[in-house]
Amino acid sequence: MRALTAVGIVLLLLAGCATAPPAPASGGQTFTGEVWTWDQPNNIVTLYQGGQIVRVKTTPEQMRSLQLHQNAKITGELAPPADLVTVIKTGPTNPVPKGPAEVLEVPGTVASIDPSGRMAITSDRGPIHVWVASRADQRFQKGAPVTVKMSVQPVDMVAAAGGSQAPASTSSPTAPTAASPSSEPGDHAVVTGRVIGVNPGGVLVVESPTGPIQVLVNDGSRYKVNDFVQIHTTVRTAP
């Protein structure tokens, strides 16, 4: 009888485990922003919210409804920053070009201007986010047609010979990036940074000191996350 009683208790416990309801999903926050990229295996979507990048861990059902560069409302939890390769600098480095640069020129419309030096532009291939010179709001108007020229050059970051460093205009990570008007029409900028996203349609997201910029390329397969690139952009008012 003791043996039967013990078996009965074990069966009862097992049955209780089998019929226990699943733990309820924890409540999440609601996030709204432009979909920049996503990590399907981990159910993480990256949103652009008013100049900030937010990573949200959500559900597979919501992931399936995402559309690139569309505003979305997502329920989930804040995800930690993505792991990036850490580069330990032992001295000044300079960007050394590898392979040809890609040059692309597209028409667009000014979506927003940050007087401190950033501009968002809508185009047929998706949003573009670039550096511009300070007080750009005095030279460009929201809703105005513009032309954006982008040159994307893959580079290797190489230790400078003899400790010398390229001038600041080359925008190596150990020198400031630059944006300025010039004698040529338009606002010109040079940014060297690490690729943090390669989106469908040839959209590159690249880190910069003021936050990620976003440019277009013809062949996105040339790039991968953690590559370094040097980007030259020119924004000028369309005729």
pLDDT digits (tens, 9 = 90+) for 175-212: 335 565 555 788 999 999 999 888 888 999 998 887 78
For the chain, how many structural domains are there in total?
2
73: domain range? Answer: 29-78
Its pTM surpasses 0.75: no
Mean pLDDT, the chain, whole residue set: 76
pLDDT at residue 170 is higher than 50: no
Residue 34: predicted pLDDT: 82
Classify residue 60: in a domain, yes or no: yes
β-bridge pairing 71-78 and 213-216: unpaired
Q: Greater confidence, 163 or 24? A: 163
- Pair (124, 178) in one structural domain: yes
CATH number assigned to the domain comprising residue 66: 2.40.50.140
Assign 76 a pLDDT band (cuts: 50, 70, 90).
very high
pLDDT at residue 29 is higher than 70: yes
Classify residue 56: in a domain, yes or no: yes
- Pair (69, 120) in one structural domain: no
- Pair (150, 193) in one structural domain: yes
- Pair (131, 226) in one structural domain: yes
Residue 27: predicted pLDDT: 59
Classify residue 1: in a domain, yes or no: no
Residue 181: predicted pLDDT: 52
pLDDT at residue 106 is higher than 60: yes
Of 78, 109, 141, the domain-final residue: 78
Classify residue 17: in a domain, yes or no: no
pLDDT digits (tens, 9 = 90+) for 118-153: 899 999 988 899 999 888 888 999 999 999 999 999
Classify residue 22: in a domain, yes or no: no
Classify residue 24: in a domain, yes or no: no
Assign 67 a pLDDT band (cuts: 50, 70, 90).
confident
